[in-house]
Chain A
């Protein structure tokens, strides 16, 4: 316990905690739209698509974020355009883009001399090496994303719940592209925290859990952001205590919150089923007692 408190009181850990809370809350908020639009596979693809960009940025000596953002937006546009082909469902398009970009990243990496030593940091995140610049970048990107989410809230929700109706009432399809770009930015910001493979966990699992607690979109966003931030903190503490990878611990914390929500949340189908069963059990038990009382 003492060791744990020592670790938690370092400046490095404070920075990591701040970053985890910021990214967790941001991904939680954006995640509600990912879930409403049924686009978790797209989020996963964007996460993979940052890979070649990150490798290129490393070769060119630029920041992770610049390269990641560049390829993520390219891929977003490719998916947006490709999904209009009626022969393929959007998941197939996403799958093709995903394999192409990820393989391109691997090729670049293998062609570059020096091997794959920094790869794991990128794949699973390295939150403990977050510095001031990363936190400022997160704050800036997070601010822009939240502003846009608030400004176009009505259009985003309308487009998610009724795409045909939204088109008919004059909302341009560019709004869908904007939403996809926002998802892509959230993924890029989450890169240093949980890495490419697990950013999709922060982008969907808190939102799925929040849907079991809240009905209105705005309250779901609030609950989801809170769950995202809490997962960040819990995961970081668990990883410091048991010395396991922080990205993995954060993703597992989010999943644990989801499982608990599934068991106890008021709107969880599972919990409702169990409650219904218990009520029936209680009702039959009572009626048996009544019968006995009559006799």
Chain B
């Protein structure tokens, strides 16, 4: 049984894919806990759409896709930071306008190119099995930056997530910290692009944190559980998609398999904890 989980990784491209996903798990685990605590799921989803025009324009101009994604992500984070907010156009509303505009620009740019369908599909769903050495290095660098940022302002971010009003009273720069968190999310999104594509990145920055929240209420443990669950699901997901494609003739997209496993894990943990709670409540 165990050989099903180890055999696929004798191949170099599978090793690279696993390494990439484990690097991503190391950053998306802690990041997803903050996304959960600070209620930034919609922000994360928005970023996955706003990086799209950056990628499309970079592709059109023949520049690095990662660079284009970074530029678009940071532009949207800044736009949101300076955006108008009041009762009529609230945070989420403004976010939707930015998503729509950015994504539509991406679609228009791609539609002017020649190989519309296949380009779009590759951008949206990622190509984890085609990760190369340079991309691994890029992911590693982004991971270091993210971990560095989280180590520096982690305590403050937790304080803000716990009670924003008290955080303001303590003199913490809450708005600045929110921008930092958004930058962290943007970096994780950009780093995950190659692995799972813009359409599935949100799974990596939302689901591990939610699984962890089901298991624990302590932030330290939540980060550990989130990271471990992301890494384990990546491993099993990659092995499953390899095995199904090679031995059973069912082609399963690797990135999507990992995401489906993550959400299934969430559903199972949710069911188990619900049963346990019911049992605790009825002595």
Contacts and interface: CB of A to CB of B under 8 A. Distances in A.
Interface of A: 35, 38, 40-41, 44, 48, 87-89, 91-92, 94-96, 98-100, 102-104, 106-107, 109-111, 116-117, 119-120, 123-124, 197-198, 200-201, 204-205, 208, 211-212, 243-245, 247-249, 251-252, 254-255, 258, 262, 267-270
Could you tell me the dominant secondary structure of chain A's interface residues?
helix
Interface string B40-57: 011011000100000000
Contacts of A200: 96, 99-100
Nearest to A101: B263
Could you tell me the dominant secondary structure of chain B's interface residues?
helix
Contacts of B84: 262, 269-270
Contacts of B88: 208, 211-212, 267-269
A243 B112 CA distance: 8
A116 B119 CA distance: 11
Nearest to B217: A87
B148 interface: no
A211 B101 contact: no
A41 B92 contact: yes
B34 interface: no
Contacts of A205: 96-97, 100
Given A38-B93, A251-B104, 17 more contacts: A40-B95, A41-B42, A94-B42, A95-B45, A95-B207, A95-B210, A96-B266, A99-B206, A100-B266, A107-B257, A116-B117, A116-B118, A204-B96, A245-B110, A251-B107, A262-B89, A269-B89
A253 to B, nearest CB: 9
Interface residues on B, range: 35 or more
A96 B35 CA distance: 12
B66 interface: no
B202 A98 contact: yes
A245 B121 contact: no
Contacts of B41: 41, 89, 91-92, 94-95
Given A41-B41, A200-B96, A111 B107 contact: no
A98 to B, nearest CB: 6
Contacts of B104: 198, 201, 247-249, 251-252, 255
B96 to A, nearest CB: 4
Interface string B100-136: 1101111110111000111011001100000000000
Given A248-B108, A251-B100, A111 B252 contact: yes
9 contacts: A41-B42, A91-B42, A92-B41, A102-B200, A103-B256, A116-B117, A208-B88, A245-B108, A251-B100
A268 to B, nearest CB: 8
A38 B93 CA distance: 8
Contacts of B45: 41, 44, 95, 98
A212 B210 contact: no
B36 interface: yes
Contacts of B125: 106
B24 interface: no
